[in-house]
C-alpha cells in the first residue's frame, strides 16, 4: 500500500471526485443560462467517464489488493486521513457510476424548472457516489455517504411527483437513522482500536487488526449493518425505497436504483464483512434468509402493481435480494455473480426506468390499465422495452443471466436449499416481468394515440446500454477479470 | 486594582468606554449611521486588542482570568457584537430606535459576555452575568411599538429575576459551605468538607446549575425561550441565542477545568438534564410553524448536546465543547441574520407560509440559510458535523454510551425539522412574495458565516489546534 502511495502518479481517484464537484459548482454559478448548464453537465460526465475508462484500461489488471491507492493527512487530531483506494469491485462500480451518469444527464436534458440547480445536484450526487465507492477511511466514507443523500433529497423534494415531500423526508430519515448508528459504531471501533494499539486512526485497513470480544463485535457489526441494510434495502426496511423511486424525477430514479442502492451492498462487502469477520460468519444465515424473504416478498408485491414505475421499484428490491443471497453464500462464484449482477441490474433496471419515463412523457400515464399496444404505436421504443425487460428477467444471452446463474451455481454448492428456493424466485421474476411486457407492449391499445418514436437523443441514451446488455450477457469475462483477485482476498480475509 | 490589571482589562475597557462614548455622542448627535459605524469599529478594536495586546498579568483583581482562554472568548464575543451591529443597522435606522443607546447596549452586553467567559470568581461570574442580562432586557424590547417585543422583554426580565435569585442564593450557600468564592478554592474546599456543610455546598451548586439552566434554557427551564426569540427583533434574538448562551457555557467550561470531584456528585443530575434537554428541544421543534420559534427550540437541543460535552470533563470533552460553541454561534447567528436581512416594512418573515418558495426569490440567502441549517443539523462536510462528532467522540471515550445514543436519536429528529424548512424554501409551486434585498453589511456577515461553516467543515484542524493551545 505504502509503496503505491509514495509513487508520484496521476491522481485519478481524486479526479473522479473533484471533476463532478467542480462541474456542480460551475453549474450552480451559471444560474441563468440553462442551455450552457446542460452542455457543461454532459461535458463533465463525459470527462469523468473518460477517466474511469482510462483507469479501467491502464490499471484494471493489477495484482495485489489495490489497483490504486491515494493517501493524505486530513484531520490529524482524530487520525482521519484522506484515503481513496480502488480494487476490482470499486473499479466496476466507478465505471458503472460514470456510465449511468451520462445517461442521467441526457435523460434530464428536457427538465424545465431550475435547470442549473438540477444539473448541479446531479453532478454533486455523482461526486458523492464516487466518494462512497472509493473512500477507505471511515470518516471520509461517512462524509460521502451523507453528502450523496442531500442531492437526492432535493431532487426528490423539488422535482418529484405529487407526494414528493413525504417521500423525500422518508428517504432521508430512514437512511439517516441507519447511518447515525454506523457513526456511533465507527467512533466506538476507533476508540477500541486506539486503546489497543495506541494508534488512533479511522483508516479501514488498520482497523482490520482490531481485536474485539464477541459482544463488542456483535454490537459494532449491528451498527454498521443498520446503515447498509436500510440502504440495500433488505425487507423489512425497504418501504422508503418504493416511495422514493416512484416520486423521484426520471434521472433521480435512474441514479437511485442504478447506483445509490448499490452503496449499501458495497458497504457490506467493503466495510462490514472484512471488519467483523466473526459476527459476519454468525450473521450469514440470517442474511441469507432475509435475502430470500426479500426476493419473494418484493416479487409478490411487484406482481400486484399497476403502476409500472412502482413495479420496477419492487423488482429492484427483488433483484437485490438475489445479490445479497449470493454474498450470504460466501462462495467465490456466488460473490462474482453478485457483483456482476449488481452492475447488470444497474444497467437493465436503469434502462427500464428511462423507458418508463419516456413512455410517461408520451402517454402521460404509468398505469398498465391505460397502456398497451405500444408495439404498434412506437415500435422502436417497444423493442427497447422488450429487450431490457427480457434482460431483467434473466433471459440467457442478456446481461442479468450471467450474474444470476453464477449466483445460483455458487449458492448451490454451499446451500443447495437456498439455491432451489431462489430459483423459484427467478421464475416469479419472469412472471411479473412478462405480465408487464404484456400490459405495456402487446394487446390492443387502450387508447388511440399517435406516439412519436425514439428521438436521436433517446437513441443515444439507450443504444450504448443495449449494446452493453448484450455484451455482458454473452461475454462478461472482461468485467469479471478485475474481480478475481479482489474477491479471493475478501473471502480469504473474511471468514476464519 | 493596579495599572497592570487595567492593561490586562484593555479589551473590555475598550468595549465599555467605547460604548459609553457612543451613548453620550448619541445624546447630542442623532444621525444613526456614524454611531453604528463607531460601534462596529469599537467592537472590532476590542477584538484586535484582545488578540494582540499581551496581558501582563494572568488574573485581574482575582475576579477574572486574562489567559488565552478568556482572550479567545473576548475575541469571539467582540466579533459577534460587531456582526450583531452590522445586522442590526437597518433595523435601527428603519424603526428609528436611538442608535446611541442600541450600540452602547450591544457593546455592554459583549463586555458582559467576555467577562463571564473569563470569570474565575463566583462574584465576577455573577456581576458579568447581570451586566449582559440587563443590556438584553432593554435590547429585546427596544422597539416600543411592537407588542410582542414588549411581552418578550417582560418574559425575559421575569425569568432573569428568578435566575438571579437562584444564582445569588446558590452562591451564598457555596460561600457558607466552603468559605471562599474564588473558583478553584470554593470547589476544592468543598471536596474536603463532609456532612452537613458538604450537603449545603452541593445544594448551592445545584442552585447555580438551575440558574444556568434558565440562562441557557435547559429543559425544563426552557419555556421562555421560544416566546422571547419570537418577540425579540432578529438581530437581538441572534445575539441572545448565541452569545448569551455561549458565554455561560464558556464559564462552565472554565469552572469544570478547575473543579474536580464535586461534579461527580452532580453527574447524574447533569446527565438527566442533558438527555431531557436534547429530547424536549428536538421534539418541540418538530411541531413548530414559525422559523424563529424553531430556532429557539433548536438552540435548546444544542445546549443539551453541549452539556454532554461538559459532562465528559476530559480535555477532549472541553475542547469539543469549545469547538461546538463556536460553530453553534456562527451557524445559529447566521440563521437569525438571514431573517434580519429579509425583514422589511412588513416585519420579519417568520411563519412557514412566508418562507414557502422563498428559495426562488432570494436564492443566495436561502442557500446560505439551508447550509447553516444543515450545519446545525450536523451534516458531514459542514462544521456542524465535526462539532457533533467531537462531542460524541468525547462522550463515548468517557463511557456515556446511553447519552450518545439519546443524542443520536435527537439528531435524527433535528434533521427532520431542519429539513422541513429546507423543503419549504424550495417548494416549486408556491408564489412567495419578495422581501428586502438586504444591505451590504448583512450580506458580508452571511458570507462570513457561510464560509466559516464550510471551511471549518473541511478543515476543522484549524480551530481545534487553536483551542488545544488556549484551554485552561
Cβ–Cβ of A187/B412 closer than 8 Å? no
Residue B401 CB: number of other CB atoms within 10 A? 13
Please state at what angle helix A379-393 crosses helix A416-440, rounded to 10 degrees. 170
Ranges of chain B with pLDDT below 70: 1, 256-263, 429-430, 472
The answer as to whether A88 is a domain residue is: no
Q: Do A183 and B393 touch (CB under 8 A)?
A: no
CB contact (8 A) between residue A77 and residue B392: no
Rounded mean pLDDT of A329-342? 93
Residues A75 and A221 sit within 8 Å (Cβ to Cβ): no
Assigned C-alpha cell, A157: 423534494
Distances (CA, A) of B465 to A78, A362, B90, B275, B470: 12, 59, 37, 29, 9
What is the number of domains present in chain A?
Answer: 1
Residues of A in contact with B374 (CB under 8 A): 150
Contacts of A171 in chain B (CB under 8 A): none
* Cβ(A494)–Cβ(A330) below 8 Å: yes
| Cα–Cα distances in angstroms (integers) from residue A86 to residues A19, A485, B19, in the given order | 17, 13, 60
CB within 8 Å: B416 and A169? yes
Interatomic CA distance for residues A38 and A28, integer angstroms = 12
Cα A67 from chain centroid (whole Å): 21
Give just the sign of the alpha carbon dihedral A83, A85, A89, A94: positive
pLDDT of A9: 65
The predicted pLDDT at position A5 comes to 46
Q: Which helix or strand (DSSP H or E) is residue A72 part of?
A: strand A68-75
Assign B202 to helix, strand or coil.
helix
Q: Which of B253, B271, B263, B223 is nearest to B406 (CA)?
A: B271
Burial of B223 (0-12, 13-18, 19+ CB in 10 A): middle
Count CB-CB contacts under 10 A for residue B244: 23
**Rounded distance, CA B80 to CA B47, Å?**
10
Helix runs in A7-114, H state only = 12-29, 34-59, 88-107
Where does A273-396 have alpha helices with state H? 273-275, 277-303, 308-329, 332-363, 374-377, 379-393
| A254 touches A104 (CB < 8 A) | yes
What angle do helix axes A88-107 and A477-494 make, rounded to 10 degrees? 130
pLDDT of amino acid B472: 67
Quick check: helix, strand or coil at residue B428? Answer: coil
| φ and ψ at residue A405, rounded to 5 degrees | -65, -40
Q: Does B461 touch chain A (CB under 8 A)?
A: yes
In chain A, what is the greatest distance between 2 CA atoms, to the nearest angstrom?
A: 74
Spatial neighbors of A317 by CB under 8 A, at least 6 apart, are A233, A235, A238, A241, A242, A294, A297, A298
Q: Across the interface, which of A146, A157, A158 has its CB nearest the CB of B380?
A: A146
Query: Could you tell me how many CB contacts below 8 A there are between chain A and chain B?
Result: 77
Cβ pair A113:B428 closer than 8 A: yes
Q: Which of B360, B419, B428 sits opposite A169 (nearest CB)?
A: B419
Indicate whether A60 pLDDT > 60: yes
Q: A121: which chain B residues are within 8 Å (Cβ-Cβ)?
A: none
Q: Rounded to an integer, what distance in angstroms lies between the CA atom of residue A444 and that of residue B409?
A: 54
Range of the domain at A441: 283-496
Residue A495: inside a domain: yes
Distances (CA, A) of B268 to A495, B188, B191, B271: 43, 20, 17, 5
In the numeric block, which cell numbers belong to residue B369? Answer: 440559510
* Interchain contact, B408 vs A78, CB within 8 Å: no
Closest residue of chain B to A190, computed from CA coordinates: B393
B158 to chain A, closest Cα gap in Å: 39
Distance CA(A229)–CA(A242), nearest Å, equals: 15
A492 within domain boundaries:
yes
Q: H/E/C letters for each residue in A263-276? A: HHHHHHHHHHHHHC
Contact (CB, 8 A) for A145 and A187 = no
Answer whether B352 touches A (CB < 8 Å). no
Decide if B271 touches A, using CB distance below 8 A. Answer: no
In a domain, A475, yes or no: yes
Nearest CB to A154; choose among B385, B392, B426: B426
Calpha distance B326→B307 (Å, rounded): 15
Cα Rg of chain B (Å, integer): 21
Q: Is B331 in contact with B299 (CB distance < 8 Å)?
A: no
Helices (H) and strands (E) in chain A, counts: 23, 2
- A227 in any annotated domain: no
Instruction: Give dist(CA B95, CA A19) in Å, integer.
Output: 49
**Smallest CA–CA separation between B230 and chain A, in Å?**
27
Q: Quote the ipTM score.
A: 0.89
Question: Which residues, in sequence order, are CB contacts of A65 under 8 Å at separation 6+?
Answer: A1, A87, A485, A486, A489
The owner of cell 446451500 is A415
The span from the CA of A398 to the CA of A470, in Å, is 5
- What's residue A341's pLDDT? 93
Global confidence as pTM: 0.92
CA dist A425 and A423 (Å) reads 5
Q: Contact at 8 Å (CB) between A312 and A356?
A: yes
Q: Determine the Cα angle at B405 with ends B271 and B305, to 5°.
A: 50
Contact: B423, A169; criterion CB under 8 Å: yes
Write the pLDDT tens digit of every residue in B403-447: 999 999 999 999 999 999 998 898 876 677 889 988 999 999 999
pLDDT tens, residue by residue, B212-241: 999 999 989 999 999 999 999 999 999 999
**Closest Cα of chain A to B5: distance in Å?**
36
**Which residues in chain B have their CB less than 8 angstroms from residue A168's CB?**
423
Give yes or no for B37 touching A (CB within 8 A): no
Is A219 inside any structural domain?
no
What is the predicted pLDDT for the residue at A1? Answer: 40
Which region, left, alpha or beta, applies to residue A114 given φ > 0 means left and ψ of -120 to 50 means alpha?
Answer: left
Among partner residues A77, A147, A190, which is closest to B461 by beta-carbon distance? A77
Phi, psi for A69 (deg, rounded to 5)? -150, 125
Chain B interface, best mutation among A118, A121, A143, by max B CB count within 10 A: A143
Distance from CA of A149 to the nearest CA of B (A): 10
Answer yes or no: do A187 and B411 touch at CB < 8 A: no
- Contact A114/B428, CB-based, under 8 Å? yes
- C-alpha cell, B126: 455573577
Is there a domain that residue A355 lies in?
yes
Q: Which residues of A touch B465 (CB under 8 A)?
A: 77
Give contacts of A76 with chain B, Cβ < 8 Å. Answer: 461
Chain A residues close to B414, C-beta within 8 Å: none
If interface means Cβ-Cβ distance under 8 Å, which residues of chain A face chain B?
31, 75-78, 113-114, 139, 142-143, 145-147, 150, 153-154, 157-159, 165, 168-169, 172-173, 176-177, 180-181, 183-184, 187-188, 190-191
Residue A219 has pLDDT above 50, yes or no: yes
Q: In the predicted model, what is the mean pLDDT of residues A428-433?
A: 90
Partner A contacted by B460 (CB < 8 A): yes
Quote the pLDDT of residue B258. Answer: 63
pLDDT band at A494 (very low <50, low <70, confident <90, very high): low
Please report residues of B whose CB lies closer than 8 A to that of A114: 360, 428
Mean pLDDT of A297-310: 91
Contact state of A77 with B412 under an 8 Å Cβ cutoff: no
- Of the residues A27, A77, A177, the best mutation for testing chain B's interface (the one with the most B CB atoms within 10 Å of its CB) is A77
Residue A379 lies in a domain: yes
Amino acid at each position: 500500500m505504502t509503496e503505491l502511495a509514495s509513487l508520484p502518479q496521476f491522481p485519478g481517484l481524486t479526479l473522479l471526485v473533484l471533476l463532478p464537484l467542480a462541474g456542480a459548482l460551475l453549474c450552480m454559478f451559471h444560474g441563468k443560462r440553462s442551455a450552457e448548464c446542460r452542455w457543461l453537465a454532459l461535458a463533465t460526465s463525459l470527462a469523468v467517464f473518460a477517466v474511469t475508462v482510462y483507469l479501467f484500461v491502464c490499471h484494471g489488471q493489477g495484482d495485489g489488493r489495490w489497483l490504486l491507492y491515494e493517501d493524505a493527512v486530513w484531520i490529524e487530531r482524530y487520525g482521519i486521513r484522506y484515503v481513496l483506494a480502488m480494487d476490482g469491485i470499486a473499479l466496476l462500480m466507478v465505471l458503472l457510476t460514470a456510465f449511468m451518469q451520462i445517461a442521467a444527464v441526457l435523460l434530464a436534458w428536457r427538465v424545465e424548472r431550475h435547470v442549473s440547480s438540477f444539473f448541479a445536484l446531479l453532478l454533486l450526487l455523482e461526486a458523492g457516489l464516487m466518494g462512497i465507492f472509493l473512500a477507505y477511511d471511515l470518516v471520509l466514507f461517512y462524509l460521502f455517504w451523507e453528502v450523496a443523500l442531500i442531492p437526492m433529497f432535493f431532487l426528490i423534494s423539488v422535482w418529484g411527483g405529487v407526494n414528493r415531500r413525504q417521500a423525500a423526508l422518508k428517504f432521508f430519515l430512514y437512511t439517516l437513522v441507519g447511518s447515525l448508528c454506523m457513526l456511533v459504531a465507527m467512533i466506538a471501533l476507533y476508540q477500541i482500536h486506539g486503546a489497543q494499539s495506541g494508534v488512533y486512526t479511522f483508516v479501514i485497513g488498520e482497523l482490520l487488526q482490531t481485536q474485539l470480544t464477541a459482544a463488542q463485535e456483535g454490537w459494532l457489526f449491528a451498527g454498521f449493518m443498520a446503515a447498509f441494510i436500510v440502504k440495500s434495502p433488505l425487507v423489512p426496511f425497504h418501504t422508503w425505497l418504493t416511495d422514493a423511486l416512484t416520486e423521484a424525477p426520471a434521472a433521480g430514479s435512474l441514479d437511485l436504483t442504478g447506483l445509490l442502492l448499490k452503496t449499501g451492498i458495497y458497504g457490506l462487502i467493503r466495510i462490514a464483512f472484512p471488519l467483523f469477520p466473526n459476527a459476519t460468519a454468525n450473521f450469514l444465515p440470517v442474511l441469507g434468509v432475509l435475502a430470500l424473504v426479500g426476493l419473494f416478498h418484493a416479487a409478490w408485491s411487484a406482481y400486484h402493481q399497476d403502476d409500472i414505475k412502482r413495479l420496477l421499484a419492487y423488482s429492484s428490491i427483488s433483484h437485490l435480494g438475489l445479490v445479497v443471497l449470493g454474498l450470504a453464500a460466501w462462495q467465490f462464484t456466488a460473490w462474482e455473480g453478485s457483483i456482476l449482477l449488481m452492475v447488470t441490474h444497474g444497467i437493465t433496471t436503469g434502462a427500464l426506468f428511462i423507458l418508463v419515463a419516456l413512455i410517461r412523457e408520451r402517454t402521460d400515464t404509468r398505469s398498465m390499465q391505460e397502456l398497451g399496444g405500444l408495439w404498434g404505436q412506437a415500435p422502436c421504443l417497444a423493442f427497447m422495452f422488450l429487450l431490457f425487460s427480457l434482460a431483467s428477467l434473466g433471459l440467457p444471452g442478456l446481461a442479468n443471466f450471467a450474474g444470476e446463474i453464477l449466483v445460483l451455481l455458487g449458492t448451490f454448492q454451499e446451500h443447495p436449499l437456498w439455491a432451489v428456493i431462489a430459483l423459484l424466485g427467478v421464475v416469479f421474476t419472469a412472471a411479473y416481468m412478462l405480465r408487464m411486457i404484456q400490459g405495456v407492449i402487446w394487446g390492443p391499445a387502450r387508447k388511440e394515440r399517435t406516439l412519436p418514436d425514439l428521438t436521436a437523443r433517446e437513441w443515444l441514451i439507450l443504444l450504448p446500454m443495449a449494446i452493453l446488455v448484450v455484451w455482458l450477457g454473452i461475454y462478461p469475462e472482461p468485467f469479471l477479470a478485475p474481480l478475481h483477485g479482489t474477491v479471493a482476498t475478501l473471502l480469504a480475509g473474511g471468514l476464519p | 486594582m493596579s495599572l497592570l490589571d487595567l492593561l490586562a482589562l484593555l479589551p473590555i475597557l475598550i468595549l465599555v468606554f467605547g460604548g459609553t462614548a457612543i451613548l453620550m455622542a448619541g445624546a447630542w448627535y442623532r444621525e444613526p449611521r456614524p454611531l453604528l459605524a463607531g460601534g462596529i469599529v469599537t467592537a472590532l478594536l476590542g477584538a484586535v486588542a484582545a488578540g494582540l495586546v499581551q496581558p501582563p498579568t494572568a488574573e485581574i483583581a482575582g475576579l477574572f482570568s486574562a489567559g488565552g482562554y478568556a482572550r479567545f472568548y473576548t475575541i469571539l464575543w467582540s466579533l459577534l457584537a460587531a456582526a450583531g451591529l452590522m445586522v442590526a443597522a437597518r433595523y435601527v435606522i428603519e424603526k428609528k430606535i436611538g442608535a446611541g443607546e442600541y450600540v452602547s447596549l450591544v457593546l455592554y452586553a459583549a463586555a458582559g459576555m467576555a467577562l463571564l467567559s473569563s470569570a474565575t470568581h463566583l462574584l465576577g461570574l455573577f456581576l458579568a452575568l447581570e451586566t449582559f442580562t440587563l443590556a438584553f432586557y432593554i435590547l429585546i424590547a427596544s422597539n416600543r411599538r411592537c407588542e410582542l417585543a414588549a411581552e418578550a422583554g417582560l418574559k425575559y426580565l421575569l425569568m432573569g429575576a428568578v435566575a438571579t435569585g437562584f444564582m445569588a442564593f446558590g452562591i451564598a450557600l457555596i460561600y457558607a459551605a466552603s468559605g471562599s468564592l474564588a473558583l478553584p478554592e470554593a470547589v476544592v474546599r468543598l471536596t474536603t468538607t463532609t456532612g452537613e456543610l458538604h450537603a449545603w455546598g452541593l445544594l448551592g451548586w445545584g442552585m447555580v446549575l438551575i440558574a444556568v439552566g434558565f440562562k441557557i434554557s435547559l429543559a425544563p427551564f426552557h419555556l421562555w425561550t421560544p416566546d422571547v426569540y419570537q418577540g425579540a427583533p432578529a438581530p437581538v434574538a441572534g445575539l441572545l441565542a448565541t452569545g448569551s448562551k455561549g458565554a455561560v457555557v464558556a464559564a462552565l467550561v472554565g469552572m469544570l477545568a478547575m473543579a474536580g470531584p464535586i461534579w461527580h456528585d452532580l453527574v447524574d443530575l447533569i446527565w438527566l438534564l442533558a438527555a431531557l434537554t436534547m429530547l424536549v428541544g428536538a421534539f418541540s421543534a418538530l411541531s413548530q410553524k414559525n422559523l424563529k420559534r424553531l430556532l429557539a427550540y433548536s438552540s435548546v437541543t444544542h445546549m443539551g448536546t453541549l452539556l454532554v460535552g461538559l459532562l465528559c470533563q476530559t480535555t477532549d470533552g472541553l475542547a469539543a465543547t469549545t469547538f461546538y460553541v463556536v460553530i453553534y454561534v456562527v451557524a445559529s447567528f447566521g440563521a437569525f441574520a438571514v431573517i434580519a436581512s429579509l425583514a422589511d416594512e412588513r416585519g420579519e418573515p417568520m411563519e412557514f407560509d412566508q418562507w414557502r418558495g422563498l428559495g426562488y426569490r432570494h436564492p443566495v440567502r436561502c442557500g446560505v440559510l439551508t447550509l447553516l441549517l444543515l450545519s446545525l443539523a450536523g451534516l458531514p462536510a459542514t462544521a456542524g458535523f465535526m462539532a457533533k462528532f467531537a462531542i460524541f467522540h468525547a462522550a463515548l471515550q468517557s463511557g456515556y454510551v446511553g447519552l450518545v445514543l439519546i443524542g443520536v436519536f435527537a439528531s435524527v429528529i433535528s434533521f427532520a425539522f431542519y429539513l422541513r424548512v429546507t423543503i419549504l424554501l424550495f417548494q416549486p409551486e408556491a408564489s412567495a412574495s419578495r422581501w428586502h434585498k438586504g444591505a451590504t453589511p448583512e450580506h458580508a456577515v452571511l458570507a462570513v458565516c457561510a464560509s466559516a461553516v464550510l471551511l471549518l467543515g473541511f478543515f476543522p484542524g484549524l480551530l481545534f489546534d487553536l483551542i488545544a493551545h488556549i484551554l485552561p
